[in-house]
Structure 1
């Protein structure tokens, strides 16, 4: 089986995690050449990317194509927010999928298209330049308009609000036209799904809130998923950077079968909570990520193949963006008990550590290590948003199940993936990065100057190796071979990890 992937961008989370999912299951994954990929704010080389796609799809060994539409038509996740390409140009690029399936009728296309975010911040690192002055106002305006959509559908015109009046008309026009363009691409993707060009379509909401511009657009998109005969099979849930890994797992499930999942949470109300940056209860997100990965939630009386244990969100305590929030010892112990019970059941266990955004709960991970439970997990996730965390953990565990079922499991790759997530999400994001935040990183996520990067990378590598030595057995050591800051900032790292 060969899967071709067009990732959301070039960062390790969008390239390495999908690659690990395929490697765990013993499946071949092919990726575009580096020169065709985006680089932070620079868009992908669309011509080179499309040429590569035509070549790889022309090979009959390529049975599945997983494509992130934002890269296919805009050049990446950030270019989708900042480039000035017209709707017509973007639609022509999207039409490549129709061309590819016409030339290769047996090709199975799985696609993900993002509902564009409106970040509640004044950071323009990943946004248009005016975000530094009007970002929070634009986010708030999206929330206002969403509420009006619910309550004033037939109310007609209204006076401008204070938030709306605070945003220059040229800024508002530019931002809303970008949203309109991307929304039209999402609608066109729904059309391709209805035609059968796209077999599976995921419309995922990037960095949103219960009331926001993105959530309003989901209302419109849900209308069309209800109207179109094939629309009810469209996947819609919070997420972004994890989507490539999840959909690669789904492609593998087409051959391996559909694993049965149980969802467990140590806190009675934990699954009802809405995590930061999302617009749905945790249970909904877990269920949708499982379905997106090709699995299904086990029915009452069924024995699950896999269990996802959720360390429930606690948004009121903050996150790991720049300081360490307080852990809850009682919640930690309940999750430890849930993990132990899941492992003792004999199922493969994925741990979705969504307690805090932007890093795993140190107390939980360290307690699991003390109890000898951490390295018995099939997968772990604790990075960035809940959707990112859940998707990576579910995809890795699903790949492990598929590899065992097919007889192609790569145990070394499975261990590598688990250790890399522990190192990145717990040891770095909620450990070393915080310790370096003020002095080495200047109290921000970036950019980090070249000289500072060299010293930072050296410290990160030392500290991650020390943490790794503490959780692995002396008889089975691993080495942190390389560390990088892929976007020259502290927010994410790339790791190379090898058996020692």
Structure 2
């Protein structure tokens, strides 16, 4: 979907200022809106970022204020509003005063439209455990992992733990690099604090404070402690939620605004064949999955209930060995096959009992469990799911499932449900999260290759052919019209499906 287009529909109109220009932040929220017959207004494509080229933050703020006049609700990324996108929030030299001035657009919108629902998300800046500078300042190529470790050591010291030699670690990172990085963190932390102030003033509700690529001990996790304390101290009239996630949040908040506009509340009962897995901390996250589930559901304006008639949020729990499908190919064993079979059998029992089932496939990072998909296909129930997600982090996959399933429930209650849109989204996530990330992507250095122009064109043709072969087995008559690589690398892709019907 073009970023300057709106999804068709006669229902509610939601204006979205996305986290960045990638399909998960633009297309996925539009697909969720379409389930309920809603349209999604997006900024003109030329104002959005292009990988490391920042979006036009001032123009984006002006667009948001103008869009608020015709919208039934807003969903806003503060990273886009303040800096021009996710990567710009980590790399730009914009001073704090400039970023704060842009954030004040939300207060101006509240003054113009006192009753307009405005939901916002602000990210805690990450420090990835890598030497990959594509999404970070250039010095990440030489000092990235040390900066990641430095945050963990500071956090442990803050918590009163001793161990690593902080002085030695700091001495190994040039002072100018440490100064630049920590100043960026401080600037972004002040933006997050100001977002809390706006929530206290009633300018935004809810405010989600999320974090991607974090860990139990990390700079971002320490900042979340400080933000949590301020969220408790300030008398905030609305809701503030803090949990792991990023790229799925736009879709989650679209689902929440749909629930508000259509006056409905989605209800989920968590089902899991491995209940102990709900207590595990997934890769790249800093708390138990059980807590993340609760907050993702609440963020979507939905409820967790103990009602055997509610839609089942079926969780394929994280792998206790914390394996990742990007970067290497795991050797599956008997335990893997047994766990996949247990989840598939539970899905079958739920469906045979008349339950709707939304499946969060969280066993591995960066791709759906191929053994689970095979087990579901053997039982003939894969395309009977209400929603599916298995991409990137547990938070990404979980949030996209909750968003689609919540929109489905609310739309059914309001009489605006578009079954064809729901099926297209289900097939899209299956063919991308399993078909590409777990199967086809293995040929491209397990998802870590960057492309030149000829290589990208050839890869797009090959991937389209392979995915169409898989799709023909899942949904005869449905085809992939186009494949592209948004950031010119094999890690993620965009596909367009045609012919998917209910």
With normalisation by structure 1, the TM-score equals 0.94
In 1, Cα distance between the equivalents of 2:81 and 2:58? 10
Could you list the per-position Cα deviations for residues 72-127 of structure 1 after superposition, in whole angstroms to 9, with x for gaps in the alignment?
Answer: 10111111000010110000000000111111222111000001110011111110
1:162 & 1:332 partners in 2: Cα distance? Answer: 45
* Aligned equivalents of 1:51, 1:210: Cα separation in 2: 38
1:442-483 per-residue CA deviation (whole Å, 9 max, x = no partner) reads x762420000011100010000000001112x4xx2010110
- Deviation, 1:159, is 7.7
Distance 2:283 2:390 in 1: 13
Instruction: Report deviation, 1:416.
Output: 0.6
Residue of structure 1 aligned with 2:406, choices 385, 398, 411: 398
CA distance in 2, matches of 1:343, 1:13: 28
Q: Hey, what does 1:491 align to over in structure 2?
A: 491
Quote the residue 2:302 is aligned against.
295
Report the equivalent of 1:363.
371
Range 334-343 or range 197-206, more displaced: 334-343
How far apart are the structure 2 equivalents of 1:276 and 1:311?
A: 14
Counterpart check, 1:468 vs 2:476 = no
SS in 2 for 1:35: helix
Once the two structures are TM-superposed, the CA of residue 256 in structure 1 deviates from its matched residue by 3.5
SS in 1 for 2:132: coil
Cα shift readout 1:35-56 (whole Å, capped 9, x = no counterpart): 1111111111123212211221
CA shift for structure 1 position 315: 5.2
SS in 2 for 1:78: helix
Cα RMSD over matched residues? Answer: 1.6
**In the TM superposition, what is the alpha-carbon distance from 1:303 to its structure 2 partner?**
4.1
2:327 is matched with which residue: 306, 322, 331?
Answer: 322
Instruction: Specify whether residues 231 and 206 from structure 1 end up closer, same or farther in structure 2 by C-alpha distance, changes over 3 A only.
Output: farther
| 8 Å CA contact retained: 1:122, 1:135 | yes
Superposition deviation, residue 345 in structure 1? 3.4
Look up the SS of the partner of 2:68 in the other structure.
Answer: helix
Partner residue, 2:310: 305
- Could you say which residue in structure 2 is the equivalent of 1:435? 443
C-alpha separation in 1, matches of 2:386 and 2:49 = 32
**What pairs up with 1:476-487 in 2 under 5 angstroms?**
477-487=477-487
The answer on 1:176 being equivalent to 2:182 is yes
Matches within 5 A, 1:110-125: 110-125=119-134
Match of 1:24 in 2: 35
The verdict on how the C-alpha distance between 1:172 and 1:304 changes in structure 2, with shifts beyond 3 A counting, is farther
| Structure 1: runs of 5 or more not aligned | 438-442
Q: Which moved more, 1:18-27 or 1:340-349?
A: 340-349
Alpha carbons 1:260, 1:304 under 8 Å: kept = no
Q: 1:159 to 1:434 in 2, by over 3 A?
A: closer
SS of equivalent to 2:121: strand
2:457: which partner in 1? Answer: 454
* Number of residue pairs matched by the alignment: 484
Contact 2:193/2:227, CA 8 A, preserved across alignment = yes
Deviation at 1:325, TM superposition (A): 1.6
Partner SS, residue 97 of structure 2? helix
Where 2:313 maps in the other structure, the secondary structure is strand
**Matching residue of 2:13:** 2
The aligned residue for residue 266 of structure 1 is 273
Matches of 2:123 and 2:469 in 1, distance apart? 38
State the alpha-carbon separation in 2 of the partners of residues 64 and 444 from structure 1. Answer: 37
Secondary structure at the aligned position of 2:74 is classed as: strand
- The two structures have a TM-score, normalised by structure 2, of 0.94
Aligned to 2:5: none
Q: Does structure 2 conserve the Cα–Cα contact (< 8 Å) formed by 1:378 and 1:418? A: yes
Q: Which moved more, 1:50-59 or 1:479-488?
A: 50-59
1:139–1:150 CA distance, 2 compared to 1 (3 A)? same
Q: Work out whether residues 202 and 237 of structure 2, in 8 Å CA contact, stay in contact via their aligned partners in 1.
A: no
How many angstroms does 1:232 deviate by? 8.0
| 1:143-196 Cα shifts (integer Å, max 9, x gaps) | 1111111117xx9xx984322221111111111110101100000000000000
Name 1:440's counterpart in structure 2.
none
Distance 2:54 2:346 in 1: 44
Provide the C-alpha distance between the structure 1 equivalents of 2:454 and 2:38, rounded to a whole number of angstroms. Answer: 39
| Deviation, structure 1 residue 366 | 1.7
For residues 264-306 of structure 1, what are the alpha-carbon distances to aligned partners after superposition, in whole Å with 9 as ceiling and x for unaligned? 111131101110000111111111101101101104xx34432
Which structure 2 segments of 5+ residues have no match?
1-11
Kept in 2: contact 1:261–1:304 (CA 8 A): no
Structure 2 counterpart of 1:350, from 331, 344, 358: 358
The 8 Å contact of residues 276 and 315 in structure 1, kept in 2 or not, is answered as no
Counterpart in 2 of 1:414? 422
The Cα offsets for residues 172-231 of structure 1, whole Å up to 9 and x where unpaired, read as 111111010110000000000000001210000111000001100010001011111227
Query: Within 2, Cα distance between the matches of 1:230 and 1:87?
Result: 24
CA contact (8 A) 1:319 1:358 kept: yes
- Sort the Cα spacing of 1:268 and 1:159 in 2 relative to 1 into closer, same or farther, 3 A: closer
Note the C-alpha offset of 1:412: 1.1
